[in-house]
Amino acid sequence: MWSYRRIMETSTALNQTLKSLADVLDGASDTPLDAPTPCSEFDFQTLRAHVVGWLTAFTDGFTSDDHLCSDPGAVSVAGTGGDQVRELAERLDVVLPEAAAEPLRIGDSAMPGDMALSMMLWEYQVHGWDLARAAGRPWAPADSALEASLEFAPGMLTPDFQGEGKAFAASVPVPETAPPLDRLVGLSGRDPHWTA
């Protein structure tokens, strides 16, 4: 059920995550574009384009009258992508949390706006870690925001979507006593100890 307080907390956490992501991208200007990332199907350049493209699509959806996401494949990364991420975060900040009360349309399908927002927080926490780890940059989202994603993500990581040949790699076992970031990336199919 849509909860203004919960969506406000998610919106704030997403804004902070995106600002940190922008800093990572700017700080990774000398990272080789073909550098590997923990998201094994993407090198640095491809993952950066994926992140900026989908953030643009989601932002266009939340800020448009019809709540329809734009085409992420039509987006080009300018420079490091950092300024694009900051501008998109500012656009989202203007309309959230109220915009999350309406479904977000992606092509012919739609999902509740609050679910889409929680999905974005999770995705950008994990992809932020992917890019930061590939570039040797720090990545430290707030534990409270990570715990929120740890609560949300299992509902998305069903057998239809996680495993070999699927959207998400199989979960990597991580001790329950591990830090929340390690548990989240492990749940999302990454080895928390991955190095380039």
Condensed to tens digits (0 to 9), the pLDDT of residues 104-142 reads 999 999 999 999 999 999 999 999 999 999 999 999 999
pLDDT category of residue 4 using cuts at 50, 70 and 90? confident
Percent of all residues in the chain with a pLDDT value above 90, rounded to a whole number: 88
* pLDDT (mean) for 56-75: 98
The answer to whether 61 and 70 are in contact (CB under 8 A) is yes
Of 35-44, 156-165, 186-195, which gets the smallest average pLDDT?
156-165
The answer to whether 189 and 170 are in contact (CB under 8 A) is yes
The answer to whether 41 and 169 are in contact (CB under 8 A) is no
Triad 164, 139, 144: Cα angle to 5°: 90
pLDDT category of residue 165 using cuts at 50, 70 and 90? confident
- Nearest in space to 42 (alpha carbons), one of 124, 127, 153, 136: 127
The answer to whether 37 and 50 are in contact (CB under 8 A) is no
Condensed to tens digits (0 to 9), the pLDDT of residues 82-109 reads 999 999 999 999 999 999 999 999 999 9
Q: What is the 3-state secondary structure (H, E, C) of 54-98?
A: HHHHHHHHHHCCCCECCCHHHCCCCCCCHHHHHHHHHHHHHHCCH
Per-residue pLDDT at 167 exceeds 80: no
Q: Which two tokens stand for residue 44?
A: 């640095």
The predicted structure's pLDDT at residue 166: 78
pLDDT category of residue 2 using cuts at 50, 70 and 90? low
The answer to whether 184 and 153 are in contact (CB under 8 A) is yes
* pLDDT (mean) for 26-45: 96
